[in-house]
Amino acid sequence: MPTNKKRNKKITLIRKVEAVEKCTVTRNVEAAAREYDVQLSQLRKWRKNYPKIKELATKYPKKFTIDPGKKVENLDLEALVFG
């Protein structure tokens, strides 16, 4: 039975910056959300985190998230595995 579930899209930080700047310039969040095919709530979160997204987008243009990930708990094991 086919399902019509939307797949999660990975959007780079550069595209997120473009989307936020678009809705800031046009003052129309709904239109920018439609254009970039994202939910309004997601675009609002990007606007809230815009300074951090912009900063990381200049350093890592192909990165998808501002979250650094889980911290390493056992440095000795990490060094042993990844040398």
pLDDT for 48-59, tens place per residue?
A: 999 999 999 998
Looking at the domain assignment, is residue 71 inside a domain? Answer: no
Question: Tens digit of pLDDT for each residue in 2-59?
Answer: 555 666 778 899 999 999 999 999 999 999 999 999 999 999 999 999 999 999 999 8
**Is a pLDDT exceeding 70 seen at residue 65?**
yes
Q: Give the structural domain span for 35.
A: 13-64
**In Å, how far are 21, 30, 52, 76 from 37, measured between CA atoms?**
15, 10, 22, 44
Domain-located, residue 18: yes
Report yes or no on 77 lying in a domain.
Answer: no
Q: How many domains does the chain have?
A: 1
User: DSSP character for 66?
Assistant: S
What is the predicted pLDDT for the residue at 3? 59
For residues 37 and 83, which has the higher predicted lDDT (pLDDT)?
37
pLDDT for 6 equals 64
- Domain-embedded: residue 7: no
Residue 74, domain member (yes or no)? no
Question: Domain for residue 27, yes or no?
Answer: yes
Distance CA 20, CA 33 (A): 9
Nearest to 13 by CA among 51, 60, 47: 60
Q: How far is CA 42 from CA 33, 37, 46, 70, in A?
A: 9, 10, 6, 22
